[in-house]
Chains A and B, each alone.
Chain A
Amino acid sequence: MAKLPLGRNVRGRNDETAAENRRRFAEARLCAVNLLSSPGSGKTSLLERTAERMKDRWRILVIDGDVETERDAQRLRAAGLEAIQIQTHGACHLNAMMIAEQVATVDPAAFDLLLIENIGNLVCPSNYDLGESSRVVVASTTEGDDKPIKYPEAYHTADLCVLNKVDLLPYLPFDVAAFEAGVRRVKADMPVLHTSCTTGAGLEAWCAWLDGQVRATRGEPGKS
């Protein structure tokens, strides 16, 4: 019996494809944002609200991942965005190869912002780099305030945390300070935005953050 040292990254093929995606996005000056959350936290709603505020300013493409159905892409087309649906038929995360395949069907230089709605799952998607420029974890008040420390993978890899459904705070035993302390324990410098897709609260700040991401990708100064 012989021992073969390997030192091989099990996700190597994904990570190489993600690096290629990142190169392609940079070439096209396309800002790619990957949204992670558990099912139902409001990713699609947030994109619908984003469409209302941003679609006349930037050319936006959405790639929407779900286990089954075209529903979310249809919702986003109804909101005026170009949207591609990926149905994984069971797989619990998007991978870089799925993104590469879809990006090959469009001209990436024809868009300024690519919004990727990942499969609703707080574990698996966190460990699959898609080639995005930034990653957002969307939490919601109905999930409970302990999720950052229970699902640290998603929070540890994100650049921004959006706490959605803050309109429901009066009705829920959700401790915002405990939630934010949990976020900081997992990732010390992560900014947290509070939003409500129902009342519109906080959406200006969210769109300003996105705007900053697009401008940074295009090498433009911060404020319009």
Chain B
Amino acid sequence: MHELSLAENILEIVEAERAGRRFSRVHVIRLRAGALSGIDPEALRLAMESVCEGTCAAEAAVEIDAEPRIVTCRRCGATMPGDVGPAACASCGSIDLELAGSSGLDIVSLEVD
């Protein structure tokens, strides 16, 4: 459900760009999804397929660059990959770690003609 409304938002933005810039077909839609954006890339691709049917983006490939989750150390600032991360900081041993990452979802670029 969530992905469906996001797909509609994406198409809205693409259609607005088309009105301003006069292209007829979208070949690639490139997205960037923050680590805490709550997005399931596969579900978003499926939603895009159904929402874009019969539009200028019907054939578009949807490329999603999903940022990995990271944990930052609140003592030394080191960052480590992982969902909840290690038990202690790899560089200073502190256990004062916190999940980091953006909740953003952006359209980075389009390939059109």
Contacts and interface: CB of A to CB of B under 8 A. Distances in A.
B6 interface: yes
A90 B98 contact: no
Given A3-B109, A152-B99, 19 more contacts: A1-B27, A4-B109, A5-B108, A6-B109, A10-B6, A10-B13, A10-B106, A10-B107, A12-B13, A95-B5, A123-B2, A124-B38, A149-B84, A153-B37, A153-B103, A185-B85, A185-B98, A187-B98, A188-B74
Nearest to A15: B104
22 contacts: A2-B112, A6-B110, A7-B106, A7-B107, A8-B107, A10-B9, A13-B12, A90-B1, A91-B5, A92-B1, A124-B1, A127-B37, A127-B103, A127-B105, A149-B83, A152-B36, A152-B84, A153-B38, A185-B84, A185-B97, A185-B99, A186-B98
Nearest to B72: A188
Interface of B: 1-2, 5-6, 9-10, 12-13, 17, 21, 23, 27, 31, 36-38, 69, 71, 74, 83-85, 96-99, 103-113
A123 B40 CA distance: 11
Interface of A: 1-13, 90-93, 95, 123-124, 126-127, 149, 152-153, 156-157, 182, 184-188
A4 B113 contact: no
Contacts, number: 103
A1 B111 CA distance: 6
A176 B107 CA distance: 41
A9 B84 contact: no
